[in-house]
Amino acid sequence: MKITGLKEVEQKVIKNKKGDIIKFISTKSSFYKKFGEVYFTEVVRNKIKGWNYHKKNQCIFCVPMGKVQFHFIDGRKKSKTYFKEIKITISRKKPGIIKVPNQIWFSFKSLEKVSLIANFLEKSHTKNETIKKSLIKNYLIK
């Protein structure tokens, strides 16, 4: 089952014999609102990072290096898909962008030795804006 508002978008890759160009986000992107910050998260094979929840920020993810499986659980009590979950895998070889509305719990793990995730936020990250937990819906992350 899909989660309302969670969207996977095809990512444009411009092939180049000296090294490909991977288009992430532009002011012309349909999901772009405004710029807050971009940060990168490195993840090593089979180590899970999460659970994370942004109160007001939407996250826009891409994986420019490696292969990552994302796990999402809808945390919006008024949503039709409340507490539903979905897993999405994106990689350098299967490029994509995932737009995650606020109030969606997420975790992720690398399926390769090392992966890199880029996260685009419309507002700068603050400790008060993000909730982190180790247990959601019987999924424990150590």
Q: Which two tokens stand for residue 114?
A: 């090392």
Q: Give how far the C-alpha of residue 79 lies from the chain's centroid of Cα atoms, to the nearest Å.
A: 19
CB 22 within 8 A of CB 116: no
Residue 32 confidence (pLDDT) = 86
Under the banding of pLDDT at 50, 70 and 90, the label for residue 142 is confident
Q: Give how far the C-alpha of residue 120 lies from the chain's centroid of Cα atoms, to the nearest Å.
A: 9
Query: Architecture of 7-140 per CATH?
Result: Sandwich (2.60)
Report the predicted TM-score, pTM, of the whole model to 2 decimal places.
0.93
Q: Where along the chain do its domains lie? A: 7-140
Under the banding of pLDDT at 50, 70 and 90, the label for residue 130 is very high
DSSP 5-34: T-EEEE--EE--TT--EE----TTSTT---
Under the banding of pLDDT at 50, 70 and 90, the label for residue 1 is low
pLDDT digits (tens, 9 = 90+) for 27-79: 998 888 899 999 999 999 989 999 999 999 999 999 999 999 999 999 999 99
